[in-house]
């Protein structure tokens, strides 16, 4: 087998034989199914570790077959169809979400040019000049499955969950799209393979007459866009702490309340495939794609052959871990807080950053990558500090006497929230009367 250290271009696509195209499509489909099986196991193990419990560890080595057993159990569950459901839409809604999630993997580059049985081909199903728009379209169309599933169930809670999901998509799709605009402006292309090639290493900037190597990842150069993009994909994939369309404390199970058996399994499949797909998209747009991180790049063969596929999936696993980490640590937001955060925080910050980026690109005598590092990194750190800075200081807890004195005039006295009620005057008087007698009796017994 011949290993090639070459970035694929749009001219390299569309030349594969039919059997190679079928093999790539099957690889993407198998990857989606395995991502679901291993993703559920990975999430349960990580959350169990965070909660100081073992997680699945009985079925198979390290509990790896537990997810497979759960899938088989779901397949043999009774398939219940509500009487008021629209049968056609109720059946096809889960399949829409799954198809859109899997289709997005077709334009994600997994590696560079390689040789497979004598055919030089890129490790990517296909690529087009507007590949990132295909990703946005698949992400938007996947919401249709959730909305239609909630509407077709003929029940109130699923309908509310579907409406919530559509509102989240409208809110966070705008912020996510603006984040990708920054990538377009910097890379000069919408092709996913071209964006990965634009993040290559080897670029140097001159600072006070000294050439300094700079990182090529847009997660560093466009740090504000990276932070906003990742928050937006967590909200759009309905993952905790933004899982409001299926909030069990409010909507039972949201849009999936009336689903069972394989249809319920398809919704779960679409959720985990979307999580892996969005992690792969984030890797492609901001983390250099299949390119090896430093210091692995010191090895000349790090970005050639089949090794880049290893670096790519390592980055995806790290991002999936962040998804799970957020679920295991952060509480769910209220819906009004979540929508306000998208429209009044992420969107204005993103617009201001796009204007700043446009102004930086208009300066002719200043190196583009150097000024991005000089402005983008501090702006991103400031954004992160602003998002995680406490909005207000906690008010001091009122004392018992303040709670009693501050009640409305003419109202009945209410017990304080901490239930620290004042002692009864009668009990205090009885205890005071009995205390001398108890002391006297104790002294007599000691004397005896």
Q: The tokens of 153 are what?
A: 């169930």
DSSP sequence for 358-426: HHHHT-TTS-HHHHHHHHHHHHHHHHHHHHHS-SSPPPPPPPHHHHHHTSPTTPPP---TT--PPPPHH
pLDDT category at 440 given cuts 50, 70, 90 is: low
pLDDT tens, position by position, 18-72: 889 899 999 988 888 888 888 889 988 998 888 888 888 888 888 888 888 888 8
Number of Cβ within 10 Å of residue 81's Cβ equals: 14
pLDDT, mean over the chain: 79
CB-based burial label for 335 (10 Å; 0-12, 13-18, 19+): middle
Domain ranges of the chain: 10-388
Note the pLDDT tens digit of each residue in 425-439: 776 677 777 766 555
Specify the pLDDT at position 342.
84
Residue scoring higher pLDDT (319 or 71): 319
Tokens 């679901």 -> residue = 36
């Amino acid at each position: 087998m011949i290993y090639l250290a070459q970035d694929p271009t749009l001219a390299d696509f569309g030349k594969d034989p039919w059997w190679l195209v079928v093999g790539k499509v099957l690889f993407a489909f198998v990857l989606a199914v395995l991502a679901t099986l291993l993703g559920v196991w990975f999430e349960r193990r990580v959350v169990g570790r965070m909660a100081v419990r073992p997680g699945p560890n009985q079925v198979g080595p390290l509990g790896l077959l537990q997810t497979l057993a759960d899938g088989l159990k779901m397949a043999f569950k009774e398939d219940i169809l509500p009487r008021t459901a629209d049968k056609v839409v109720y059946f096809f809604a889960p399949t829409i979400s799954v198809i859109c999630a899997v289709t997005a993997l077709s334009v994600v580059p997994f590696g560079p040019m390689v040789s497979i049985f004598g055919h030089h081909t890129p490790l990517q199903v296909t690529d087009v000049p507007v590949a990132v728009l295909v990703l946005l379209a698949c992400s938007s169309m996947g919401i249709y499955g959730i909305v239609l599933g909630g509407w077709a169930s003929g029940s109130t809670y699923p309908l509310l969950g579907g409406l919530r999901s559509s509102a989240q998509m409208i809110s966070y799709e705008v912020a996510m799209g603006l984040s990708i605009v920054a990538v377009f402006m910097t890379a000069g292309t919408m092709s996913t393979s071209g964006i990965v090639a634009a993040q290559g290493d080897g670029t140097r900037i001159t600072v006070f007459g000294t050439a300094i190597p700079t990182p090529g990842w847009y997660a560093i150069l466009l740090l504000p866009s990276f932070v906003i993009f990742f928050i937006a994909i967590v909200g759009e994939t309905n993952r905790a702490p933004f899982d409001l369309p299926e909030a069990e404390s409010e909507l039972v199970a949201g849009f999936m309340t009336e689903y069972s058996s394989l249809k319920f399994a398809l919704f779960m499949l679409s959720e985990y495939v979307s999580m892996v797909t969005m992690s792969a998209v984030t890797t492609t747009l901001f983390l250099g794609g299949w390119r090896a991180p430093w210091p692995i790049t010191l090895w000349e063969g790090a970005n050639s052959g089949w090794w880049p596929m290893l670096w790519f999936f390592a980055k995806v696993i790290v991002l999936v871990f962040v998804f799970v980490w957020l679920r295991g640590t952060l509480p769910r937001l209220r819906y009004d807080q979540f929508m306000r955060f998208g429209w009044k925080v992420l969107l204005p910050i993103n617009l201001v950053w796009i204007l700043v980026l446009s102004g930086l690109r208009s300066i002719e005598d200043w190196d583009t990558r150097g000024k991005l590092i000089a402005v983008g990194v501090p702006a991103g750190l400031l954004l992160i500090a602003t998002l995680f800075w406490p909005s207000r200081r906690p008010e001091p807890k009122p004392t018992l006497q303040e709670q009693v004195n501050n009640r409305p005039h003419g109202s009945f006295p209410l017990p304080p929230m901490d239930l620290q009620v004042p002692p009864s005057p009668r009990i205090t008087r009885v205890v005071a009367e009995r205390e001398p007698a108890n002391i006297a009796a104790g002294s007599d017994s000691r004397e005896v």
